[in-house]
Structure 1
Amino acid sequence: MTETNPGPAPDIKTAQLKEQPTAVVRETVPMNALRDFFGRAFGAVTGAVQAQHVQLAGPPFALYRGMPTDVVDVEAGFPLAAPFTNAGGEATTVIAGTLPAGQAYEALHMGSYESLQHTYGAIMERMREDGVSPGEAMWEYYLSDPGAEPDPSKWQTLVVWPVA
């Protein structure tokens, strides 16, 4: 599997999502600064959630609003077992959010983050085939920790793209 040969096409499934409370940090970030943003955001959210004694309900995620260009409107954080109360006064402001309910397409991406566009392209093609339009926001659950698994070919990212 390489950038030019991304491997087998992802298995794309439809899902009916339930609304999920989250705690996030939202910013407009240059694409080449996402790694630093994620480290800062995930750390800030973890601290704020622990301070409120709210349990995490899933892996870290990033929600993207609109199609990314050289900058992206992104929020990064965690799904929660209970609603979060906005925490102010921090250098990185953690806010309450939600992952929306509705119909979506999901695909498990195996490999580096740099090859995620192949999975997004496959989902978009499937949406076209099914006669539906992609929503304005999509998100990725990061199922692998690059700090614990240094081999990018083993990284797993669940891509979720709601229907408009």
Structure 2
Amino acid sequence: MKILKYLFFLILIFIIGTAIYFGTKDGTYDISDSMVIQAPPEVVFNKVNDYKNWESWGPWKKEDSTMTFNYAEKTVGEGGSYSWEGTVNGSMVTTKVIPNKEIEQDLKLETPAGERTSKVYWTFEETEEGTKVTWRMAGEHTLVDKAYFAITDYDFEEGIHKMNEAGLEGIAEEVAADMKRYSINVDGVTRYGGGYYMYTTTVAQQDEIAERMEPMLTQVMGFIEQNNLNMAGPPFTIYNQFDNTTGTVIFSAGIPVREQVITPEGSPVVCGFMDPVQTVKISLKGDYSHLTEAYKTGMEFIEKNNHQLHPTAKMFEVYVSDPGETPNPADWLTEIYIPITVQETETPISF
């Protein structure tokens, strides 16, 4: 009996000593990783702000194939949450959101050794290259965890860094794929209503059109605002003349207005009028880099249906979406109109 009591006291002293030893060790952690993703902050923010996206870009299911996800009624923004079941069960809830800038979340894990909690922080910083995303997790290890990490020599910080890096790479891949999505649809034959518009014209190489167009539209918009004119529709471009030998194009960038405007002599912005015209309309949803394919699709439709191109009216495209307000190129909507000779009466589309 004395030997058993002696062993008991030795074990008790060892347990107390171990607890004191590990209890004095600092258990706080604050781990973060960053990556610059080539996309606007809003696009990257939206990929993180909705928990329904996490299953696709997160690295967890690759490590635990048994994991299943459960989504709350609200998964986006402050108060949004989701949970999962697997080797380790857990849940997460969003506690604070500053749109396109910050997200804060509470993480809870149910482990064999009990419940574990952490704070998770996201920041989204616009840079010249895109968006710098920082994923950070902070908390404090329990006494049991500190002992386990010491005994097993498990590097907790290294494990979190690997998770963060894999997750950030997953977000970058998802965002890149999202921004490349596009669709082209031939809406058919329709009559465009025409009307007055303010415009400016230049000549440029075909691969310079996009670069030259932005300052031209800015100039036209400035004229409209300065003179308190009423816009009658979204901006557009008219292609006046192509020279395939030199690869140049004369084009006008314009904005529809409600009435005729008499401009002073020498004004770089002038008023024009487009007659109503029958057209083949093509809708492109996606980046402007797909415009060439959209025009090709329209021309194939015209040839297949034996339509004849209009001898004098010019092709034009209307920018329904404003890239400044719609950061994801996959959501840009451009309407392309290719004039054809009159064959039948369609419902007019006005500016």
TM-score normalised per structure 1:
0.83
Mapping for residues 33-52 of structure 1, pairs under 5 Å:
33-52=208-227
Unaligned runs of 5+ in 2: 1-176, 342-351
Offset from partner CA, 1:138-162 (integer Å, 9 cap, x none): 1111112222223222211010111
Offset from partner CA, 1:61-118 (integer Å, 9 cap, x none): 001124474321100010111112234445xx01111223121111110111111112
Mapping for residues 1-150 of structure 1, pairs under 5 Å:
9-67=184-242, 69=244, 70-90=247-267, 93-135=268-310, 137-150=314-327
Unaligned runs of 5+ in 1: none
Counterpart secondary structure, 1:34: helix
Answer 1 or 2: higher relative contact order, Cα 8 Å, separation at least 6: 1
Counterpart secondary structure, 2:316: strand
1:115 and 1:102 mapped to 2: Cα distance? 25
- Contact kept in structure 2, 1:124 and 1:134, CA below 8 Å: no
C-alpha spacing 1:45/1:62, structure 2 compared with 1 (3 Å): same
AA matched with 1:26: T
2:223 and 2:304 mapped to 1: Cα distance? 42
Counterpart secondary structure, 1:19: strand
Range with greater deviation from structure 2 (74-83 or 95-104)? 95-104
**Count of aligned residue pairs for this structure pair:** 159
Counterpart secondary structure, 1:35: helix
Identity %: 21
AA matched with 1:127: I
Tell me which protein shows more helix as a share of its residues.
Answer: 2
RMSD: 2.4
1:9 and 1:17 mapped to 2: Cα distance? 19
Offset from partner CA, 1:24-65 (integer Å, 9 cap, x none): 001112233323422221122122223433211000000112
2:184 and 2:235 mapped to 1: Cα distance? 24
